[in-house]
Amino acid sequence: MRGARSAWLRAACAWMMWTMCVVPLATHSAQTSASDEITPAEQLIFTTDHLHGVEAQTELDYAMLNSEQPSHSADLVKVLVVSADNAKGDAQVSDHSGNVPLPNGGLQCNPVIIYFLEHDITQMQGLTGGQRRYFQQRLRLALAAGPRIETVASEVGGKSVSARRIVVQPYLNDPNAARFAQYTAKRYTFVLADDVPGQVVLIRTDVPGANNDFAHPAHSETLSFQAAVRKLSPPAKAPLKPSNAPRASR
């Protein structure tokens, strides 16, 4: 429905921190042949309430690793679900630098998705000198084109879970991508599972090696679910004594 698509576009534009939506709905439809409905890929990644069922004060831990790091030096990314089900939209993300404010724009998704994409877009901007909005736009259009959602088996904590996988290559067939040819085939993989707290199993990017070799990528970066840790609620403050309370004798 047009209303649902418009609401999604407003939320997506808020994530992208655009002062205006640079791709109007008509242009979007012409370029992707998409309907006014939110595609299943967009819905699964951005508008699903991934934190539903997660108890208050639960910390979801993720390992962030790029192929240039040794495996033992993975960064730890934490999502603290403050209110049960994230009902108040107050989940907090932190990494080695401390708390990380994110432009969620009212999206219902697990904020670790926005964290990863913001990190990736900042990295692409720095590597290529390209415009931030360009990379955001290409990724959004790739998901709006209705990519396939595959059912796959994924291993989490030594157990096999049924998951859904989405793979997109946002820069293929884009004439502007000639400016950074080494990243044209870059691939984004999203793996989500209902049985995993927060539902995000893995997000991965791969830049293929020579001759489009994804088996031996030139660079990859992965965020993967590690654990859900129940934290104690912050202690309640002691009530203040009334000013007329009797004082202890010396």
Comparing 187 with 174, the larger pLDDT belongs to 187
Mean predicted lDDT score pLDDT of the chain: 83
Most confident of the ranges 169-178, 218-227, 231-240: 218-227
Residues 176-187: pLDDT tens digits? 888 888 999 999
Q: Is there a domain that residue 194 lies in?
A: yes
Q: Is there a domain that residue 74 lies in?
A: yes
Q: Is there a domain that residue 56 lies in?
A: yes
Residues 109-120: pLDDT tens digits? 999 999 999 999
Comparing 95 with 211, the larger pLDDT belongs to 95
Q: Is there a domain that residue 59 lies in?
A: yes
| First-to-final CA distance of the chain | 75
Q: What is the 3-state secondary structure (H, E, C) of 33-70?
A: CCCCCCCHHHHHHHHCCCCCCCCCCEEEEEEEEECCCC
Q: Give residue 231's pLDDT band: very low, low, confident or very high (50, 70, 90).
A: confident
User: What is the predicted pLDDT for the residue at 223?
Assistant: 98
Res 250 pLDDT > 50: no
User: What is the predicted pLDDT for the residue at 24?
Assistant: 36
Most confident of the ranges 14-28, 47-61, 176-190: 47-61
Which percentage of the chain shows pLDDT scores above 70?
Answer: 76
Q: Is there a domain that residue 239 lies in?
A: no
3-class SS at 71? helix
Comparing 159 with 14, the larger pLDDT belongs to 159
User: What is the predicted pLDDT for the residue at 106?
Assistant: 74
Q: What is the span of the domain harbouring residue 145? A: 2-230
Domain count, the chain: 1
Q: Is there a domain that residue 245 lies in?
A: no
Give the predicted TM-score (pTM) of the model.
Answer: 0.81
d(CA 73, CA 2): 46
Tallying the residues shown for the chain, one arrives at: 250
Q: Is there a domain that residue 237 lies in?
A: no
d(CA 66, CA 220): 6
Q: Is there a domain that residue 247 lies in?
A: no
Give, as one character, the DSSP assignment of residue 182: G
d(CA 32, CA 170): 12
- Mean pLDDT of the 181-203 span: 96
